[in-house]
Structure 1
Amino acid sequence: MTTLVVGASGATGKLLVEQLLHRGERVRAVVRSCDKIPATLLEHPLLSVVEASIADATDGEIAQYVDGCDAIASCLGHNLTLKGVFGHPRRLVTQAVQRLCHAASKNGSDKPVKFVLMNTAGNCNRDLNESISFAEQCVMALLRRAVPPHRDNELAAEHLRTAIGQNNASLQWSVVRPDTLINEAEVSEYQPHVSPTRSAIFNAGKTSRINVAHFMAELISDQATWNRWKGEMPVIYNQQ
């Protein structure tokens, strides 16, 4: 199996690449600069690196990235700087998801391509009509208007949920929703849930980036895990 990883040089993306390689999976990683990938990974025989900006790639280049891949994983996100949060492209994740899905649908694969999107516990799964308090609704409405990356996360997941849907012959998907991200050196106990078990605003949980990477790799490489969570938006927390 070959997995295309976009956002592969980010804090979680690098860990996902490592997790997949440890499972013996082939990885095609798209990065802005190879300097952001550890040398130990760059030397791995199962890793090929494409040095490019996914936002600036042409449709033909996107098609080349996707060609021959059995899975696509997006760990794309906005840099936590003034320019990264409020600058362009404001729909970085959404546009990448749309273009990657379009390319995958034209790929001519004899089985559906898996698409795993890293998202956020602050985004509701509208298939389940997840309820949140009125106070949280107010905060989310403010974030949606004032913080472009939050709306970008929502729209990216909505594209998979509505435009791709549950019965697409070319694509299957899962949206992984971690809560507050923290750094840990090793994979620890964590639990996936169908919906949030706590408020992402007023009672946030913690999810280590390496656990997010581990779960995304499990979705890609383990068919039983994929069958359980495809077409869903699992929320994961570190085990307390």
Structure 2
Amino acid sequence: MVIQRNITEITIEEMAKILSDCDSAASCLGHNLTWKGIFGKPRKLVMDTAILLCQAIDQNAPQKPIRFVLMNTAGNRNRGINEPVSMRQSIVTGLLRLFLPPHTDNEKTADYLRKEIGQNNAYVEWVAVRPDNLINEEEVTEYALHQSPTRSAIFNPGKTSRINVAHFMARLVLDDQLWNTWKGQMPVIYNHSKDEIK
């Protein structure tokens, strides 16, 4: 079933009905890279959608927790494990937080999952996938997963193809072992560079 609607117009009751037969949900929403997309409304598109999905799941009160996968960004630090960042990156991130609403939206959405949904929610389990600089590729390639960034998302970004992100997100909802490895975490995904592939 394909539903074409503006996500901001869907009520909790409608979303609960949509999700009633689902055992997983994924959000790959982002802001358009236009003036209106970056500075216009809705400024909290990603967070409001995550809240909508989680509240709809909560309303359904499923017998088994629903898996929720969020596409986030390597530019967002996981405050739950106090990831170290350089002073330079902290300054730039602070400026992004002030002047680029989409960055704040990504940060607050991850914080909502960590703090409000948490690790022991009866109805929602989550993973926030953090790709680095997104690129387009035709096919899935080898990729690496890390608990935290291994490079600076601002000063030395890696590359992650959109198709690899989609592949990993699909594997998360289908593979119990992979899900249990990353549940409640914010894994970073990078494409393997050619010299890294053995």
Q: Matched residue of 2:106: which SS?
A: helix
| Among candidates 1, 5, 13, match of residue 60 of structure 1 | 13
Instruction: Between 52-61 and 121-130, report the one with greater CA deviation.
Output: 52-61
Quote the sequence identity (%): 58
Q: Matched residue of 1:181: which SS?
A: strand
Report deviation, 1:107: 1.0
Counterpart Cα distance in 2 of 1:71 and 1:50? 16
Report deviation, 1:214: 0.3
| Among candidates 148, 157, 171, match of residue 204 of structure 1 | 157
Moved >6 Å (runs of 4+): none
TM, length-normalised to structure 1:
0.79
Q: Is residue 137 from structure 1 mapped to residue 90 from structure 2 by the alignment?
A: yes
Q: Is residue 70 from structure 1 mapped to residue 23 from structure 2 by the alignment?
A: yes
Task: Please list the CA deviations of residues 32-56 of structure 1 after superposition, one character each: whole Å capped at 9, or x if unmatched.
Answer: xxxxxxxxxxxxxxxx101111111
Report deviation, 1:108: 2.4
Q: Is residue 168 from structure 1 mapped to residue 131 from structure 2 by the alignment?
A: no
| Among candidates 93, 99, 105, match of residue 52 of structure 2 | 99
Which position in structure 1 is the counterpart of 2:104?
151
Task: Please list the CA deviations of residues 146-169 of structure 1 after superposition, one character each: whole Å capped at 9, or x if unmatched.
Answer: 000000001111111100000111
Instruction: Between 63-72 and 142-151, report the one with greater CA deviation.
Output: 63-72
Counterpart residue identity of residue 222, structure 1: D
Counterpart residue identity of residue 124, structure 1: R
Counterpart residue identity of residue 131, structure 1: P
Counterpart residue identity of residue 180, structure 2: N
CA contact (8 A) 2:12 2:55 kept: no
Q: Is residue 49 from structure 1 mapped to residue 8 from structure 2 by the alignment?
A: no
Superposed, which structure 2 residues align to 1:7-26 within 5 Å? Answer: none
Q: Matched residue of 2:43: which SS?
A: coil
Report deviation, 1:62: 1.8
Q: Matched residue of 2:2: which SS?
A: strand
Counterpart Cα distance in 2 of 1:197 and 1:228? 19
Counterpart Cα distance in 2 of 1:82 and 1:190? 32
Q: Matched residue of 2:8: which SS?
A: coil
Report deviation, 1:59: 2.3
Which position in structure 1 is the counterpart of 2:196?
none
Task: Please list the CA deviations of residues 47-85 of structure 1 after superposition, one character each: whole Å capped at 9, or x if unmatched.
Answer: x10111111112222222222110010001111111011
Q: Matched residue of 1:131: which SS?
A: coil
Q: Matched residue of 1:120: which SS?
A: coil
Report deviation, 1:140: 0.2
Aligned residues: 193
TM, length-normalised to structure 2:
0.96
Q: Is residue 220 from structure 1 mapped to residue 173 from structure 2 by the alignment?
A: yes
Report deviation, 1:232: 0.4
RMSD over aligned CA atoms reads 0.7
